[in-house]
Structures are given as structure tokens and as C-alpha cells.
Amino acid sequence: MNKQPPLIMRQLFDRSSCTYTYIVKSSGSSDALLIDPVLEHVSRDISVLSNMSANLTKILNTHVHADHVTGSGALKERLGSTAVQTFISRESGAVADVLVTNNDKIDIGDGRFLTVRSTPGHTPGCISFETDDQASVFVGDAVLIGGCGRTDFQGGDSAQLYDSVKEKILSLPDETNIWPGHDYNGRTVSTVKEENTFNPRLTLKKSEFVNLMDTKFDGSNYPSKIDASLPANMVCGVFSETTKQPVLHPGGFLWVPEKFKPDKMVKLAERVKAGAVICDLSSGEGGTYSGDSLDTPWHENDHSLFLSEFKAKVPDFDAPVILCCKTGKRASKGCALLEMAGYRDLTNGINLKNVAEEIGE
């Protein structure tokens, strides 16, 4: 029987965001891959790879991180953009060289591979990477040691997270090592058996888990770097040489949560009474309203510009805001973008005519 060459692994840490980065390679190949690199540690990662005589060929991202900027783009720039490929899930909506989906195989070299497991819930596009011998699984933020990723922004869904984790991670053999994306208490690795036995969240019944998560994580205390991280990570950390901002997302894709879709508009009159700032993104295409409204044009191909113009007009992240346009579509994208940037009280008002009708004008 052919024995598989052993895998060599390194776990690296970012103290600021408590993020783990992993190097994985096969002993019989010089090729190596990195999982979840952090921008500030690109030099360290290159140096560790060099000491291992390893040649970085692939950078895998478990998801669009909200608490740190990925080192993917900077590593590509330093090591040669054609020599290294970036990976992220197709479901994340982000841009990378390779978009992967459930059950895809990622070659490590020397006959070894990782299998992609779709594990949404912390975000819709979260994936885990399982080694071919099931000795290890790199889970990003789906499972944390004695915990799990939060589910209160970026389309998080606690019921979905519970199902993902139970079906794709905690169903692996007892002895499978679980390598998390973070640990805030100095722990490094766990096993399926330990998490199935002791994880205080994931040993709950699904309804109890959902209740706990939805109470504990209420959309407050967002990661402090969310504003810079999300736009950068949607393009795998590639920055424009001229603006030094993340390059624009081709096509301007924005994930729009259900609650911001135009047909989900609710309690508009109540938000107006609460003193909501009404912003018109349509430059007057959506009818009129007798009260005050701010004209803040939507920039379909430059979300950063919209964000900076909006922030200059509405600096308070807790201000109630109603976005309007002509049909509610641009407003829904605007709400999604502003929520990712940290605004907490957003409503899609569809258009000014609709606002006027809702409040009985």
C-alpha cells in the first residue's frame, strides 16, 4: 500500500486581531499554500516560507474577513502575481484568481489535497478546508475553540451556521484536528471530539443555539477594522497604486441582505418620526418629499467614493437613515454598503414619493 507523504504545517498568529494563518505543504514537494494571511504579516510569512524552503503557490481565504485585511494581494505583489493564485468561495461574491465551491479539491502537491467544505453561517460564503486524510480541518470562523463565529453582520445566519458546523465539521472523525481562524484566549487547536463534548454553544439544541447567538450578538461592537477590511477583502486585498484604496470590485457586486430589498420596506413612518436622515441617491429621479433630504449620488462603479461622500454628510453611525432612489435598487445596495461600513439604523425607503405617501403627505 502506498503511504501518503506527511503534511507539514505551521500555525502563525496576529496579536492585533487574534487571527491564525496557516502554512500547509507536503513533505515531498516544495510547493506550499497559505490559509488566511494577514496584511501586516506578509514579510513574516515570506520569511517563514523561505526558511522552510517552500515556494508559495496558493493563498486560500476561508471568507471575507471583517476584522483584518487579508495579506493575499500584498503577497501576490511581492512574490509575483502569476506565481501565486488567490482562492475564495464563489458564494462570497468576492474577487480572487480562483473561485471555489463545496467539494472542490485544492492540490497541495505530491498527491496531497484539501477538499473545500461549504460552511456558511458566519458569512454566506464561509468555507472550510479538510485534509485528504481527515486529520485536520481549517475552519475559519465557523468553529472557534469553545465557541463559533458571530452571525450578526455580513449576512450571518445562526441557524445556517449550526447546520453547517454539525454537518460538515463536527461529523468528522473524533480525532480530526480543528484549526480555527481565531482564538482570543491563547488556545491553538482542538478536535472534533472536544468541541462535540465541551463547546458551550455547539452542544446546545439548534433552537437554543439560535436564541443564544441572536441575543449575544445584536449588531453592536462590530470589529474595529470592519470599515477598511470588507472593501479590501472583497477584492482579496488588491490595492490601487494610485489611490492606495482597495481596487474597485468589478461589476460593483454588493451582497444585499433580505431586509434591505425594496419589497421588505417596513416602519418607514416610524423611522421618519425618529428623525431619520433621508438621503436621495437618484439625483431627483424618485419624486419629491416636502421635508429635508440629502442629495448623495450613488456611484455604481465606485462604492468607496459613495461611502466617503456619505460619511462626510452623515458622520454618526447611529443616525437613523432612510435611503431612496428611483426603484429601491440602488438604495438597497447603499444600505448593504453602509451596514458593512458600520451604520446601524438603515431603511430602504425606495423613493421620495414613497416616503411622502407613507407618512401621509
Residue closer to ligand L3IBWBLD (CB basis): 17 or 293: 17
Output DSSP code: residue 239: B
Binding site for ligand L3IBWBLD (CB under 6 A): 17, 66-67, 141, 144, 147, 149-150, 182, 223-225
Least Cβ distance, residue 309 to ligand L3IBWBLD (angstroms): 26
**What span, in angstroms and rounded, lies between the C-alpha atoms of 191 and 197?**
10
**What span, in angstroms and rounded, lies between the C-alpha atoms of 10 and 31?**
14
Output DSSP code: residue 302: -
Residue closer to ligand L3IBWBLD (CB basis): 14 or 280: 14
Least Cβ distance, residue 110 to ligand L3IBWBLD (angstroms): 33
Least Cβ distance, residue 56 to ligand L3IBWBLD (angstroms): 24
With residues binned 3-state (H G I as helix, E B as strand, rest as coil), the percentages for the chain, rounded to 5, are 30, 25, 45
Residue closer to ligand L3IBWBLD (CB basis): 39 or 144: 144
Residue closer to ligand L3IBWBLD (CB basis): 17 or 86: 17
**What span, in angstroms and rounded, lies between the C-alpha atoms of 229 and 17?**
12
Least Cβ distance, residue 127 to ligand L3IBWBLD (angstroms): 15
Residue with cell 454628510: 313
Q: What is the dihedral of CA 152, 222, 317, 353, to 10 degrees?
A: -20
Least Cβ distance, residue 134 to ligand L3IBWBLD (angstroms): 25
Residue closer to ligand L3IBWBLD (CB basis): 147 or 237: 147
Least Cβ distance, residue 180 to ligand L3IBWBLD (angstroms): 10
Least Cβ distance, residue 229 to ligand L3IBWBLD (angstroms): 8
Residue closer to ligand L3IBWBLD (CB basis): 76 or 150: 150
Residue closer to ligand L3IBWBLD (CB basis): 73 or 147: 147
Residue closer to ligand L3IBWBLD (CB basis): 58 or 68: 68
Least Cβ distance, residue 140 to ligand L3IBWBLD (angstroms): 9
**What span, in angstroms and rounded, lies between the C-alpha atoms of 139 and 122?**
11
CB of 339 closer than 8 Å to CB of 312: no
DSSP per-residue letters across 161-220: HHHHIIIIITTS-TTPEEEESB-SSS---EEHHHHHHH-TTTTS-HHHHHHHHHHH--S-
**What span, in angstroms and rounded, lies between the C-alpha atoms of 48 and 1?**
34
Least Cβ distance, residue 192 to ligand L3IBWBLD (angstroms): 19
Residue closer to ligand L3IBWBLD (CB basis): 88 or 268: 88
Q: Where are the beta strands (DSSP E) in the chain?
A: 7-14, 19-26, 31-35, 55-60, 85-89, 98-100, 105-109, 112-118, 127-131, 136-140, 143-144, 147-148, 177-180, 190-191, 277-280, 294-295, 321-324, 346-350
Residue nearest ligand L3IBWBLD, CB atom distance:
223
**What 3-state class would DSSP assign to 260?**
helix
**What span, in angstroms and rounded, lies between the C-alpha atoms of 294 and 141?**
38
Beta bridge partners of 314: none
